[in-house]
Structures are given as structure tokens and as C-alpha cells.
Amino acid sequence: MSKLADATPEEVRLAMRRAKESFGPFRTLSGRKRSSLLCRIAEKIKGSKETLIQTAERETALGEKRLGMELVRTVSEIERFADFARKEEWRNRQFESADPLRQPLPKPNMVTQRIPIGPVVVIGACNFPFAISVVGTDTISALAVGCPVIVKSHPEHAQTCQSIADLVKEAIEENNSPEYCFQLVHGQDHLVTRSLVQDPNASCIAFTGSLVGGQALSKLVAERPSPIPFHAEMGSLNAVFALPRAIGADVRKLARNYLNAVNLFAGQMCTKPGAFILMEDSSTPAFLDEISEEIRRQRVLPLLNHSVYLNYLETTDALTKKMEVIGSTVIDEREIKNPGNIRIFTMPAKEFMESPETRTEAFGPSSIVVRARNESEMLEVASSLEGSLTCSLFAENEDRSLAENLIPILESKCGRFLWNGFPPGVVPGPATHHGGPWPATTDSRFTSIGLKAYQRFVRPVCRQGFPERP
């Protein structure tokens, strides 16, 4: 399929120039017109639902059920942004009246409102072929506010990307919108991504992927002659702290919920709990036993693809050499292609704090149970954490005093803070915030999911002294 060939540097430059040229016409469309473009995109995707899911299933092994749910959520987000684009409340218009009699000088009127920032480069994730890809929140929120978008397709689901892009192109044509307000480029080679983020016509980058990838791109962006905002949503540890009474309350239920969260979609979730911190006491052995019981009850799911599988094996094999394994599954490759075997480790808090490499995200269904000897060690673990998308705290009334000490520390480490709950699986709503301090993201002040995702792509301009119709 020659259309999926890597873009050459010249093709990238051309795409970026076309995006820049389309910025003027695209940003001056009415909110209603951009809204109808998004509606059309949503309709096209709904209309090709079955084909898209089949294509994505061939490329990701995520399963039809999960892909179906993801597609529904993706479409509903597009529709939410269509509504948002139509209302144009995002312009956040602020007005100061003129005061011609002010001393010593007359005051002109001032109108400040937000405008789109310019062409946005979107580099999506491997684990959400619909929701964090070609028509994910990054693309749709940028289009909603009038930014042209250039998506770099994901090599592991390039055909899904192309099929969706074809639908978007049809929608653009039928809606009579600027041809190049949306473009897709393919790139197995990192060179394509490099060319995109270094292109002078890019105004903002939105990336979802690994810490290593995010760091490399961050460095490239910092070297640009004219810097632009670079937003990366990267790996995250998502530490869960469980206080003594909360564990003692129902060891079986807690172990089951923990494993369900670790193994959700084979652990390939940016909010998978990678560490579970408890304080050793009389209920610890029973809890660890329940975990190994629960591991046996879990279903092993296929990982996204062979490279994710190899990477997961390598990471968890390295962890196995450093710490005790509470339990693991052993499905082999003849039974399930690229099996996501669960591996739950355990180690003392002191060792956990001393070996930062254990704290990096293992992309797949593994997690570490960290055993603190006492309250102060638990607080130390909390303080030693890096930034994360989420932190969770399980506590009962009797755990109150320790909980009160942990809350400010954990809140300072994350973008979403859960009380008696595990992080994966949130439906986007008005209070959605998906971000967190480095290394969870490059800028904790923004979100990449939910309606506020557009805030990365707008900037205020104040018009001073303009007549009503200049």
C-alpha cells in the first residue's frame, strides 16, 4: 500500500506550509461552520464503524468490544466539541469601555478574546487507535478552535489512521472547508516526527507516548530557533496508597479491584496503577495471598503488538531479578499471540526508594506492592514520588491522621487524586483533568482529555481602540 509510505522531508515541509496557508481561511470560518465540520466527521465515523473496528482489531488486538466502546466514546467527544465550537464561549471575550474624559489621557476601549494559536502537530498513542489518534481529543479540540492539524500516523495502526483520515477528508470536502485544515502523514522513521516538530510553520505540538519519546521530542523542540509549546502526556506510575484499616476491611475485594485495574486492557493504560504502597501489619500476608489467588482468576489478554510484548518481557524480566514475585501468569505464545502475562512484584519501601529504575512505567499488566515498615516510611515514599497522572488513597475513618498527612503530599504529585478508588476508566465530563507534574506531562497546567484540552491551542489578543466594525 504505497499511500502508507513514510513522508519525505519535502512532503512534511509541504504539508506544514499548506497547514499554515490554510490557517487564515480556517480560523475565519464561523463557529457554526467548524461545528458542522466536526458533526460530519462524527457521522462519517459512525457510518464506517464496523470497518474501522475490524481494521483496528487487525492492527491492535484490543478486541472488538473494547474498540467498539472506544469508538463510541471518540464519536461522543467529537459531538461534544462540535457543540463547543458552535457556542464559541472559548473566546472568553472581555471588554473594557472607552473613557474619553479620563485624565490625563482619554482611555480607549479594550476587547480581549482568544484566537487559535496556529497549526498543531498531533502525535498520537499506540493504545487508543480512536480516542488518542487521528480524531482524538488533540485533533478535535484544535479543529474546534480553528487550528489546522497535521497528524503523524501511528506506525502500529497506520491503516486505521489512514481510513479515519480518508473520512475526515471527505467531511472537509462536503462541508466546503479549507482542504488542508487537516492532513495525515505517515512515518515509521523517527525522521518524519523530527521534521514535523522542527518545522517553522508548526505552532504547537501535542504528543502522547513514552517518556523516552517525549524527552527526545522535548529536546528537539527546545532547539528550535523559535520555541513553541510542546505538550507531551507520557508514562505514569499512578501510585496507590492503602492505609491499614482500608486493607483490613476486605482483603479479597481490594485485591480483586487492584488486579482488575492492573490488568484492564492488559495494563496498557496510562493510568494503570504501577505501585501499591501498604504498611506492613498483620493483614499483609492475607492480602498478598489474595493477590496471588486473584492473579490466577484473571484472564490473560493479548498485548497490542509484538514490540510492546518484547518490551514488556524485557522490563518485567529485569524487575524479576531485583524483587520478589507475588504471582504471575504463564500463558505462552502458542495459546495467545503476544500474551500479556500478569506479574505482581513486592519489595520493601526502602529498596523501592533507593532504586528509581523500579519506578518507571512498565507498559503492560505488572505492578509492584511496596511494603513500608511504618507511617514515616510511607510518608517518605510519598515524598519521593515523581509526578504522575494520578495518585490514589484508600483509607477508613480510623486511618484519618495518616491520611491527613498524606493528602497534601500526594496532591502535589498528581493531576487526579482518587479516594478509595483505582484510576483507570473515567468518562470525560466537565471536571475532567488528565495531566500531572513531570514526568507525567511536560506541563501540569493543561489537560489532554476533556473539553479543556483546547486551552493548549488558543492565546489571548487584546484589541485596543478598534471601532465596532473596523
Residue 111 CB burial class (10 angstroms; 0-12, 13-18, ≥19): middle
Residue 89 CB burial class (10 angstroms; 0-12, 13-18, ≥19): exposed
Residue 423 CB burial class (10 angstroms; 0-12, 13-18, ≥19): buried
- Which grid coordinates belong to 394? 484508600
Q: Is 160 helix (H, G, I), strand (E, B) or coil?
A: helix
Q: Assess whether 233 carries a catalytic annotation.
A: yes
What is the C-alpha to C-alpha distance for residues 254 and 242, in angstroms, rounded to an integer? 9
Binding site for its own copies (CB under 8 A): 23-24, 28, 94-96, 105, 107-108, 110-112, 115, 117-118, 218-219, 222, 226-229, 386-387, 395, 403, 407-408, 411-412, 414-421, 425-427, 429-433, 435, 437-439, 442-445, 447, 452, 455-456, 458-467, 470
Amino acid at 468: E
What is the C-alpha to C-alpha distance for residues 71 and 22, in angstroms, rounded to an integer? 28
Q: Which of 467, 462, 464, 456 is nearest to 90 (CA)?
A: 456
What is the C-alpha to C-alpha distance for residues 393 and 421, in angstroms, rounded to an integer? 8
Q: Is 446 helix (H, G, I), strand (E, B) or coil?
A: coil
Contacts of 443 (CB under 8 A, 6+ apart): 229, 231, 435
Q: Are 392 and 411 in contact (CB under 8 A)?
A: no
Is the sign of the CA dihedral 362, 363, 367, 373 positive or negative?
positive
Q: Assess whether 270 carries a catalytic annotation.
A: yes
Q: Are 369 and 341 in contact (CB under 8 A)?
A: no
Q: Which is nearer to its own copies, 80 or 456 (CB)?
A: 456
- Which grid coordinates belong to 57? 482489531
How many other CB atoms are found less than 10 A from the CB of residue 332?
8
Catalytic annotation, pick one of 233, 290, 361, 377: 233
What is the C-alpha to C-alpha distance for residues 235 and 211, in angstroms, rounded to an integer? 6
Q: Are 128 and 156 in contact (CB under 8 A)?
A: no
Q: Which is nearer to its own copies, 309 or 422 (CB)?
A: 422
Catalytic annotation, pick one of 161, 270, 391, 414: 270
Q: Are 61 and 304 in contact (CB under 8 A)?
A: yes
Cβ-count burial 437-468 (b if 16+ within 10 Å, e if not): bbbbbbeeebbbbbbbbbbbbbeeeeeeeeee
**DSSP state, 297?**
H
User: Would you name the residues annotated as active-site residues?
Assistant: 233, 270
